[in-house]
Amino acid sequence: MIYLQLFFEFFKAGLFAIGGGLATIPFLTDMGARTGWFSAGELANMIAISESTPGPMGVNMATYVGFHTGSLAGGVVGGIAGGVIATLGLVCPSIIVILIIAGFLKKFRESRGVDAVFYGIRPASTALIAAALVEVCAIALVNTGAAFGGADFFRWKAILLAAAVFVCLQVGPLKKLHPIAFIAASAVLGVLFQF
């Protein structure tokens, strides 16, 4: 039963998360709250790991959740089958839509209506990504368990790291570094200083 639920939950996320991996974060936040499969802190770790590993972010997170779901929910461990099923659930809507569109590609390319639909989808996709940014910043930079205004309300180490990376991205020679260098440096600092 857990496999069917995994497929269904990720199918819904894949169907409506237009805009890529970052657009799946609001859906994953809701999924974690409804199912109890993972907490907000675990979601933050998934995002960090998914961003720093090869492959699409949404697929990496679906595989992780599917693999660990049973153990997080107190049931049978999802394991490899759970990871595969969650990943398939996430990518199936895209595959179905691509197959449908491929059959009508020539007609779609010349359609003003389709152009208008895709133009209209842009703000929704932008809003999903903006919502993901706000959620990630809240998880990474704010200690939600502390009282507002208290000294421990903000995660100062994380804020300093974010500011340092931002400043480094503005400096001439460091601007030319590949983003992987910043991801690797942040990962090392995170391990060393326990962000």
Query: Are both 32 and 86 inside the same structural domain?
Result: yes
Query: Are both 22 and 98 inside the same structural domain?
Result: yes
Each residue's pLDDT tens digit, 149-180:
666 788 888 888 888 888 888 887 888 888 88
The domain boundary residue, chosen from 116, 141, 166: 141
Query: Are both 120 and 182 inside the same structural domain?
Result: no
Query: Are both 173 and 108 inside the same structural domain?
Result: no
The domain boundary residue, chosen from 141, 166, 183: 141
Each residue's pLDDT tens digit, 100-113:
877 776 666 677 88
| Among 125, 117, 119, 97, CA closest to 25 | 125
Query: Are both 91 and 29 inside the same structural domain?
Result: yes
For the beta carbon of residue 106, count every other beta carbon within 10 angstroms.
8
On whether residue 149 sits in a domain, the answer given is: no
On whether residue 148 sits in a domain, the answer given is: no
Half-sphere exposure for 43 (CA within 13 Å, toward CB): 24
Task: Name the one residue in this structure whose structure tokens are 């931002």.
Answer: 166
| Among 23, 47, 25, CA closest to 124 | 23
Measured CA to CA, the distance from residue 98 to residue 92 in angstroms comes to 10
What pLDDT was estimated at residue 14?
A: 87
Q: Are 36 and 73 in contact (CB under 8 A)?
A: yes
**Which pTM does this prediction carry?**
0.59
What pLDDT was estimated at residue 148?
A: 67
Task: Label residue 171 left, alpha or beta by phi (over 0 means left) and psi (-120 to 50 means alpha).
Answer: beta
On whether residue 146 sits in a domain, the answer given is: no
Each residue's pLDDT tens digit, 45-91:
888 888 777 778 888 888 888 887 755 445 545 788 888 998 999 99
Phi, psi at residue 58, to the nearest 5°? -60, -40
Phi, psi at residue 154, to the nearest 5°? -100, 145
Query: Are both 33 and 82 inside the same structural domain?
Result: yes
Give the domain extent around 178. 156-193
Please state the domain count of the chain.
Answer: 2
For the beta carbon of residue 37, count every other beta carbon within 10 angstroms.
25
Q: What is the mean pLDDT of the chain?
A: 80
What pLDDT was estimated at residue 81?
A: 87
